[in-house]
């Protein structure tokens, strides 16, 4: 009687594609948004973006997360995917439920609401990235942007 | 209230005008602390205040929203809100949102107070 040999563990092949990808998942809480900014800066630096554009991307990722999770945060996690190839960087932020459903971000509760943050956020993204948008994938709200690396000053 | 080690607001006075010197990153997590300080001034009525952003390294739309709302409220009471901005990235955010047309922006707190 022969016994089947256990199959060998799969060997992870190195990623030979030109696309690089970094993922970050964090609770959708305002106090943790700085982690998204730090990651955006690190990725943009790795993708050889210049200093000024790295600063722009720190702000763009911040606005992307606010678009998704609101000013007061919400339940669930923000799952960020940074992908870059050549001079193109694409960032996708998806709000993922931790439980059965997502709850919309509550209002700020102030009797004097702040100026329209959504409008300001939209203006900032319009100015800093090449394309941006929001959609819904499988019941999860998603926001994204694409930006091309600008040539550096000689 | 949670405090952020990378955010601080200190209150000074120059020629009788309150100057709020802000330091650090003003984002969705820290903007409520700034809102609270600004609202306290707005409740006093006819007050002009200077918000000094010289040592601020980051502002986002929530920070701008807080500043715009405070300015509206102060102006309604006969006062105003003036900004001090020296950091190019902060000036850029004001420019791309068009808020450089809404606020009086100065290079130093001294200029803002004496204007």
In a domain, B67, yes or no: yes
In a domain, B1, yes or no: no
Q: Do A33 and B28 touch (CB under 8 A)?
A: yes
Host domain of residue B49: 7-114
Neighbours of A121 (CB within 10 A): 25
User: How would you write the pLDDT of chain A (154 residues) with one tens digit per residue?
Assistant: 455 555 655 655 555 558 999 999 999 999 999 999 999 999 999 999 999 999 999 999 999 999 888 877 778 899 999 999 999 999 999 998 876 555 444 444 344 456 678 889 999 999 999 999 999 888 889 999 999 999 876 6
> What is the DSSP secondary-structure string of A6-23?
PPPPPPPPP--SS-EEEE
Q: The CATH number of the domain where B107 resides is what? A: 3.30.750.24
Which of A62, A74, A115, A121 to probe the B interface (max B CBs under 10 A)? A115
pTM over 0.90: no
Chains A, B: CB contacts within 8 A come to 74
Q: Do A66 and B2 touch (CB under 8 A)?
A: no
> Do β-strands B48-59 and B17-26 pair in parallel, antiparallel, or remain unpaired?
parallel
Q: Torsions phi, psi of A3, nearest 5? A: -110, 145
Instruction: Indicate whether B93 pLDDT > 90.
Output: yes
Residue in A closest to B59 by C-alpha: A59
In a domain, A48, yes or no: yes
pLDDT at A97: 80
Q: Do A121 and B66 touch (CB under 8 A)?
A: no
Question: Cα distance from A87 to chain B (closest Cα, Å)?
Answer: 22
Of B6, B25, B68, the CB nearest to A115: B68
Q: Do A34 and B27 touch (CB under 8 A)?
A: yes
Encode B13-23: b = buried (16+ Cβ within 10 Å), e = exposed: eeeebbbbbbb
Residue in B closest to A121 by C-alpha: B61
Res. B4 pLDDT band, cuts 50 70 90: low
Of B25, B39, B96, the CB nearest to A124: B96
Question: Cα distance from B4 to chain A (closest Cα, Å)?
Answer: 8
Chain A contact present for B87, CB below 8 A: no
**Dihedral class, residue A76 (left if φ above 0, else alpha if ψ from -120 to 50, else beta):** left
Of B58, B66, B93, the CB nearest to A114: B66
| CA atoms of A101 and A47, how far apart (whole Å) | 36
* E strand residue ranges, chain A: 20-27, 77-85, 88-96, 131-137, 140-148
- How many helices (H) and strands (E) in chain A? 3, 5
> Do β-strands B17-26 and B104-106 pair in parallel, antiparallel, or remain unpaired?
unpaired
Helix, strand and coil percent figures for chain B, each rounded to 5: 40, 35, 25
In a domain, B97, yes or no: yes
Instruction: Indicate whether B89 pLDDT > 60.
Output: yes
In a domain, A86, yes or no: yes
| CA atoms of B30 and B52, how far apart (whole Å) | 16
In a domain, B2, yes or no: no
Q: Do B62 and A114 touch (CB under 8 A)?
A: yes
Our count of domains for chain A comes to: 1
Neighbours of A31 (CB within 10 A): 14
pLDDT at A106: 42
pLDDT at B20: 95
Q: Torsions phi, psi of A60, nearest 5? A: -60, -40
Instruction: Tell me what ipTM this predicted complex has.
Output: 0.90
For B64, counting Cβ atoms within 10 Å of its Cβ (0-12 exposed, 13-18 middle, 19+ buried), the class is: buried
Our count of domains for chain B comes to: 1
């Amino acid at each position: 009687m022969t016994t089947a040999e256990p199959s060998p563990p799969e060997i992870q092949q190195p990623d030979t594609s030109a696309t690089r990808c970094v993922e970050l998942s964090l609770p959708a809480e305002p106090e943790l948004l700085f982690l998204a900014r730090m990651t955006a800066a690190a990725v943009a630096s790795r993708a050889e973006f210049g200093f000024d554009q790295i600063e722009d991307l720190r702000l763009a990722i911040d606005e992307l997360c606010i678009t998704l999770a609101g000013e007061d945060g919400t339940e669930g996690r923000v799952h960020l995917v940074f992908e870059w190839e050549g001079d193109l960087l694409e960032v996708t932020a998806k709000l993922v439920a931790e439980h059965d459903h997502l709850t919309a971000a509550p209002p700020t509760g102030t009797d004097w609401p702040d100026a329209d943050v959504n409008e300001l956020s939209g203006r900032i993204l319009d100015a800093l990235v090449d394309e941006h948008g929001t959609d819904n994938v499988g019941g999860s709200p998603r926001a994204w942007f694409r930006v091309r690396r600008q040539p550096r000053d000689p | 209230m949670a405090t952020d080690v990378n955010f601080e607001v200190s209150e000074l006075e120059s020629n009788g005008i309150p100057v709020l010197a802000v330091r650090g990153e003003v984002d969705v997590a820290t903007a409520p602390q700034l809102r609270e300080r600004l609202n306290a001034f707005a409740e006093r009525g006819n007050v002009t205040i200077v918000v000094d952003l010289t040592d601020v390294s980051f502002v986002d739309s929530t920070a701008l929203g807080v500043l715009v709302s405070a300015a509206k409220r102060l102006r309604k009471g006969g006062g105003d809100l003036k900004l001090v901005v020296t950091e190019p990235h902060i000036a850029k955010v004001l420019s791309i949102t068009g808020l450089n047309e809404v606020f009086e922006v100065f290079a130093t707190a001294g200029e803002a107070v004496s204007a």
